[in-house]
Amino acid sequence: MNRATLLLGLGFGGFIDGIVAHQILGWHHMLSSWYPPTTPHDLHLNMVGDGLFHLLCLIFVIAGVVLLNRGDRLAARTLWGGMATGWGVFNLVEGTVDHLILGVHHVRPGPYQLAYDLGFLALGAVLVTAGLLTSRSSRSPAGTR
């Protein structure tokens, strides 16, 4: 697995989660289970948490671009497969740690929150599998690009 594409996938996966679930759908914020955004102060804490989360995603993307810039040119399948794998790893780690272990937030709080959290993990597993299969199919039998 290429480190650059994994970092890009982690960053893009985090951006997609933050933009779609946090901002467009408004299902949760980074700290919404610990600090429900019902007061201006707690809403501010959640906004800061979301901002720090997006800053980490940006750092992942920049690190991935730097590594790509220093390395060899990649086959498209290696690039997209690695990014899908990274996005899946993001979902699996963030979903397990933030949703299930720490309970900082859930994908969509409410009566079906466990189903949404498990769906997020299932999507992560599908992305990792698809990404690994895509990346592997771009290599020759000798393992070269």
∠ CA(118), CA(42), CA(87), 5° rounding?
Answer: 35
Residue 94 included in any domain: yes
CB-based contact 8:60 (threshold 8 Å): yes
The pLDDT value given to residue 145: 46
Q: How many domains does the chain have?
A: 1
DSSP 24: I
Say if residue 140's pLDDT is above 80. no
Q: Tell me which residue range forms the domain holding 87.
A: 3-18+51-137
Residue 26 included in any domain: no
Residue 43 included in any domain: no
* Residue type for position 81: G
* Residue type for position 10: L
> For 4-63, what is each residue's pLDDT tens digit?
999 999 999 999 999 999 999 999 999 999 999 999 999 999 999 999 999 999 999 999
pTM: 0.83
The pLDDT value given to residue 139: 59
> For 71-105, what is each residue's pLDDT tens digit?
777 888 998 999 999 999 999 999 999 999 999 99
